[in-house]
Structure 1
Amino acid sequence: MTGFGDAVVYLNDPFNWTRPGGLLDLLVEHLAVSGAAVLAALVLALPLGIALGTSGRGGGAVVVLSNVSRAVPTLALLTLFAVSPIGFGNRATAIALAVFAFPPILTNTYVGFRGVDGDVREAARAMGMTRGQVLRRVDLPLALPLVMTGVRTAAVQVVATAGLAALVGGGGLGRVVNLGFGQQDYGLIIAGAILIAALALLTELVLVAFSWAVRPGPRRWRFVPGRQRTVHGEPELTGVGVPS
């Protein structure tokens, strides 16, 4: 039987999913490590990107920081962590993946907030909005599509790369691939690769749907009736459309 056929048989065996330490447990562990990494990167990159984007300064620093962060391989970081107090395991993997997720979130947040029209901000301030209100009600809705693009890019990259945790004693779906290499079992290798690729694709689809759900849409309008008048013997209702 081919390696792909072995992978299909392995994935279709319920015991491989439900046993202790099986695919379901590895899937949960994979998602936990990935989620922790993206959340850590989001907590660090989002405020920094907002601060730099709204001030209009630091564009060069953002580019340099993003390029330097992208140039550091995740596997190299894991190797360095292994000989440091951080050590092996899922914690080291989460930290390395957070470094990997930081650049796209920072860059897209900066570009999104930097691209908000200054006239829009001035109009909001002229209406009496405070700085915090302008940030929440004007800047964030306009920058949100780009911010979510950065989060989506980072999340997909992290999910696809989290399999490296198995190389440093961590968990996740990468253990299936690592076990396959250790046993020279191409079915296991392909099964693990299929699961990681499918999870990355599912992450992309879920975040695309979430981005669509939270993006600012066209405002709905309702008709406020005014006074009634008669035109050519027929009643005509006047009024104005206002945002609902």
Structure 2
Amino acid sequence: MGLFAESINYLLSHQGDFITLLREHLVMVVVAELAAILVAIPLAIAATQHPQAKRLVMGFGNLAQTIPTLGVIAIVFPLLGIGFAPSVFGIWLYALFPIITNTITGIEDVDDDILEAAKGMGMTKREQLQKVELPLALPVIFGGIRTSSVLNVGTAYLAFFIGGGGLGVWVVSGITQFDNPKILAGAIPGALLAITADRLFGAIEKRLSENMGVQADAATA
């Protein structure tokens, strides 16, 4: 029996454990990603309105990316203990930067002619942001969410080290036990999750790219 077949056999023979670990993994990724979206997009919007805020936001985002994931775990462990909360915090921290950078880029790359047309219509800066800049920036923003989600699927494997559960339980314990089928049984579903998230958000990003330009033109017509 080949290694791949052995890993599938392991998964099928431990279906109950697999469902539990998969659910834990998904919950951590989804909660962290939603929290990152809720924090990163407002921060990025504020950064585009105030140069000083942009330096602070980008500095925070860069700092979050430079700290190794295990370093984040070491930092939050004394504060939050072990389990779900510190795991989500570590994933959340890594989810911020792609969303922040793409949101800023998307807003700042809106064509000046479009903004001048909106201004000529009497739109305030707030109205320009809501009706023109954000609609045009949405495809780029979703590109950041897409990148962030895929990264989160991988980062969530490290939750094992602080009792967060997830598919990392099989991968890390399989490594320590030299159990290759167990490692693959934990790794393959994660790879499929990452591919699914990439395809899903890629489809949304493509659809937005096709539709948002038309809506923005209508808003400035």
- Taking structure 1 as reference, are residues 112 and 54 closer, same or farther at Cα in structure 2, changes over 3 Å only? farther
Task: Provide the rounded CA distance (Å) in 2 between the counterparts of 1:143 and 1:98.
Answer: 22
Aligned pair 1:170/2:164, yes or no? yes
Q: How far does residue 99 in structure 1 lie from its aligned partner after superposition?
A: 0.8
Give yes or no for contact 1:164–1:174 (8 Å, CA) kept in 2.
yes
Give yes or no for contact 2:83–2:164 (8 Å, CA) kept in 1.
yes
Give yes or no for contact 2:73–2:90 (8 Å, CA) kept in 1.
yes
Task: Provide the rounded CA distance (Å) in 2 between the counterparts of 1:23 and 1:159.
Answer: 16
User: Of 99, 102, 119, which residue of structure 2 is paired with 1:125?
Assistant: 119
Task: Provide the rounded CA distance (Å) in 2 between the counterparts of 1:147 and 1:167.
Answer: 32
| Match in the other structure for 1:28 | 23
Matches within 5 A, 1:9-24: 9-11=9-11, 13=12, 15-17=13-15, 19=16, 22-24=17-19
- Taking structure 1 as reference, are residues 118 and 58 closer, same or farther at Cα in structure 2, changes over 3 Å only? farther
Give yes or no for contact 2:48–2:104 (8 Å, CA) kept in 1.
yes
| Match in the other structure for 2:135 | 141
Indicate the SS of the match to 1:143.
helix
Task: Provide the rounded CA distance (Å) in 1 between the counterparts of 2:173 and 2:2.
Answer: 18
User: Of 45, 48, 53, which residue of structure 2 is paired with 1:53?
Assistant: 48
Task: Provide the rounded CA distance (Å) in 1 between the counterparts of 2:102 and 2:75.
Answer: 28
| Match in the other structure for 2:60 | 65
Q: Which runs of 5+ in 2 are unaligned?
A: 216-221
Give yes or no for contact 1:141–1:215 (8 Å, CA) kept in 2.
no
Indicate the SS of the match to 2:193.
helix
Q: Which of 1 and 2 has higher RCO (CA within 8 Å, sep 6+)?
A: 2
Task: Provide the rounded CA distance (Å) in 1 between the counterparts of 2:161 and 2:67.
Answer: 17
Deviations 1:174-227 (A, max 9, x none): 11213323433111012111111111111111111122233352649xxxxxxx
Query: Which structure shows the bigger proportion of residues in helix conformation?
Result: 2
Q: How far does residue 141 in structure 1 lie from its aligned partner after superposition?
A: 1.5
- Taking structure 1 as reference, are residues 130 and 79 closer, same or farther at Cα in structure 2, changes over 3 Å only? same
Q: Which runs of 5+ in 1 are unaligned?
A: 221-244
Give yes or no for contact 2:43–2:57 (8 Å, CA) kept in 1.
no
User: Of 71, 74, 79, which residue of structure 1 is paired with 2:69?
Assistant: 74
User: Of 208, 211, 216, which residue of structure 2 is paired with 1:214?
Assistant: 208
| Match in the other structure for 1:113 | 107
User: Of 169, 173, 176, which residue of structure 2 is paired with 1:179?
Assistant: 173
Task: Provide the rounded CA distance (Å) in 2 between the counterparts of 1:85 and 1:79.
Answer: 10
User: Of 189, 197, 208, which residue of structure 2 is paired with 1:195?
Assistant: 189
TM-score (norm 1): 0.79
Give the AA of the match of 2:60: L
| Match in the other structure for 2:219 | none
Give the AA of the match of 2:66: A
Indicate the SS of the match to 1:215.
helix
Q: How far does residue 23 in structure 1 lie from its aligned partner after superposition?
A: 1.5
Q: How far does residue 64 in structure 1 lie from its aligned partner after superposition?
A: 3.1
| Match in the other structure for 1:104 | 98
| Match in the other structure for 2:151 | 157
Aligned residues: 215
Please give the root-mean-square deviation of Cα atoms over the aligned residues, in Å: 2.3
